[in-house]
Amino acid sequence: MQLIDGKLVAAKMRAEIASEVARLREKGMKKQVGLAVIFVGDDPASQVYVRNKIKACEEVGINSYLCKLPQDSSFEDVAATTDKLNRDENVSGIILQLPIPRHLDENKLIDLIVPQKDVDGCTAAQKGRLWTGRDSLVACTPYGVMKLLDFYGIPLEGKNSVVVGRSNLVGKPMAQLLLDRNCTVTVCHSRTKDLAEITRSADIVVVAIGKAKFLKADMVSEGAVVIDVGMDRDENGKLCGDVDFDEVSSKCSYITPVPGGVGPMTVTMLIANTLEAYKKSEGVL
């Protein structure tokens, strides 16, 4: 069994991004590379995620802008902030930190971000580009999974891949990225019948269902590649994933741990997308 080390891959990628940002500065960038985070409310988990994003920007030399709005902000308040960032030449990428307060329409607010600054791949425009095979900014978590698979040289073409979870942020774009690499993809979810039978048939299993230790040893085949996107707490309050690592790892050829697997890649791909959005806007090769 080979452990897929997301911390290692993320560190290598961040070093490369930092080097490229420094090179662009040396060439005399007319505009700055900048990531803006719109954070509405005071969700405790989101506060941690936002701090991680700002820290990652600092690490690679990208400017960060935190736009903090109160819990009772109106749609118009958030829309006005988004419009201002859309027009700011030093903001290369914009994300709306999720979840947002329930009285706000998430999809409508996300779609106010101009597609060229949608570095989380969440707007309908960027999703449409992904699903129609065009150049796009891809949702960060599935994009990070693909980078891990490539780093470890895991062959994809012709492989039977199962994605457990159908969310817009992970499951659906994950399936499309695997399809684009010539995998045969099955998407499963909470209403899938005989789920274990389907996952046992897979060469690659990506689990993003939000249930602690959901995937058990009897649900995977010998030698499978298992990617755990989950971030949960077990019965003792200990951080774990959607995969029962202790049970499943002995059967795998490759597996991601939690923590230290997919997690570090998500923020890394966000800053990679921000740099990519800057380069596209400036026509930089």
pLDDT at 57: 97
What's the confidence (pLDDT) of residue 182?
Answer: 98
Asked if residue 93 belongs to a domain, the reply is yes
The rounded distance, in Å, linking the Cα atoms of 50 and 235 is: 27
The one catalytic residue among 30, 71, 77, 97: 97
How far apart (Å, rounded) are the C-alpha atoms in residues 268 and 63? 15
Tokens of 83: 């419009």
Q: Given 117, 151, 172, which residue is the final one in a domain?
A: 117
Look at residue 124 and tell me if it is in a domain.
Answer: no
Structure confidence at residue 256 (pLDDT): 98
Residue 217 located in a structural domain? yes
Per-residue pLDDT of the chain (285 residues; tens, 9 = 90+): 999 999 999 999 999 999 999 999 888 777 889 999 999 999 998 999 999 999 999 999 999 999 999 999 999 999 999 999 999 999 999 999 999 999 999 999 999 999 999 999 999 999 999 999 999 999 999 999 999 999 999 999 999 999 999 999 999 999 999 999 999 999 999 899 999 999 999 999 999 999 999 999 999 999 999 999 999 988 888 899 999 999 999 999 999 999 999 999 999 999 999 999 999 998 886
Based on the fold, state whether residues 111 and 38 are members of the same structural domain.
Answer: yes
User: Choosing from 31, 42, 43, 53, which is the catalytic residue?
Assistant: 53
Query: Do residues 255 and 148 both lie within one domain?
Result: yes
- For residues 165 and 252, membership in a common domain is answered with yes
| Pair 84, 152 in one domain | no
pLDDT at 285: 67
Say yes or no: 161 and 72 in one domain.
Answer: no
Residues 75 and 165 placed together within one structural domain of the fold: no
| Crossing angle for the helix pair 44-60 and 263-282, to the nearest 10 degrees | 50
Give me the catalytic one of 118, 120, 203, 244: 120
Residue 120 annotated to the active site: yes
| Parent domain of 89 | 31-117
Specify if 152 maps to a domain: yes
Beta-carbon contacts of residue 282 (< 8 Å; ≥ 6 apart):
29, 30, 31
Residue 30 is predicted with a pLDDT of 77
Q: Is 53 a catalytic residue?
A: yes
- CATH number at 218 reads 3.40.50.720
**Residue 53's CATH number:** 3.40.50.10860
CB-based contacts of 283, cutoff 8 Å, min separation 6: none
Instruction: Provide the number of structural domains found in the chain.
Output: 2
Model pTM above 0.85:
yes
Would you tell me how many other CB atoms lie within 10 Å of the CB of residue 56? 22
- Same domain? For 191 and 97 the reply is no
